[in-house]
Amino acid sequence: MTSQDIKTFSFLSYIGPFFLLGLFSDSRRNPRLRFHINQGMILAIAEATALAIHYFIDMLLGSIPFVSLIPSVLLIFITLCSIALSLYGIFNVACDRLRPLPVIGSLSLLK
């Protein structure tokens, strides 16, 4: 696997479920790629969890006038955080840094 392939898979790790491409590649041999795949996997799980919580809150509060704005604001917040964390990870790949994502990056799913 070339260094360009590693960088490409690392970039893709921060875009939703595309971390699976790097996971199913020959990632065991490269610790840098495994780091970025791990970060992307944690980000995808955090996004899915936040959206599930949003959906639950929307079901509870969606029919109450004026209070129904809370799920909309929550969805905007989730979206902005997801974009910011993805861009942070992509920036780290571009700069060849191994910095964990803020707040959620200290978790480790891959050994």
The answer to whether 40 and 19 are in contact (CB under 8 A) is yes
Q: If you average pLDDT over residues 75-94, what whole number do you get?
A: 96
With 0.85 as the threshold, say if the pTM is over it: yes
The answer to whether 31 and 49 are in contact (CB under 8 A) is no
Q: What is the mean pLDDT of the chain?
A: 90
**Coil, helix or strand at residue 6:** helix
Task: Identify the pLDDT of residue 51.
Answer: 95
- 76 pLDDT above the threshold of 90: yes
Give the pLDDT band (50/70/90) at residue 1. confident
The answer to whether 5 and 87 are in contact (CB under 8 A) is no
Q: For residue 98, report the phi and psi dihedrals to the nearest 5 degrees.
A: -115, 60
pLDDT in tens, 28-60: 788 999 999 999 999 999 999 999 999 999 898
Whole-angstrom Cα Rg for the chain? 16
Q: Give percent of the chain above pLDDT 90.
A: 62
Task: Determine the Cα–Cα distance for residues 80 and 82; give it in Å rounded to an integer.
Answer: 5
- 3 pLDDT above the threshold of 80: yes
Tell me which DSSP letter residue 105 carries: T
Task: Identify the pLDDT of residue 38.
Answer: 93
**Coil, helix or strand at residue 27:** helix
> How far from the centroid of its chain's Cα atoms is residue 66's Cα?
31
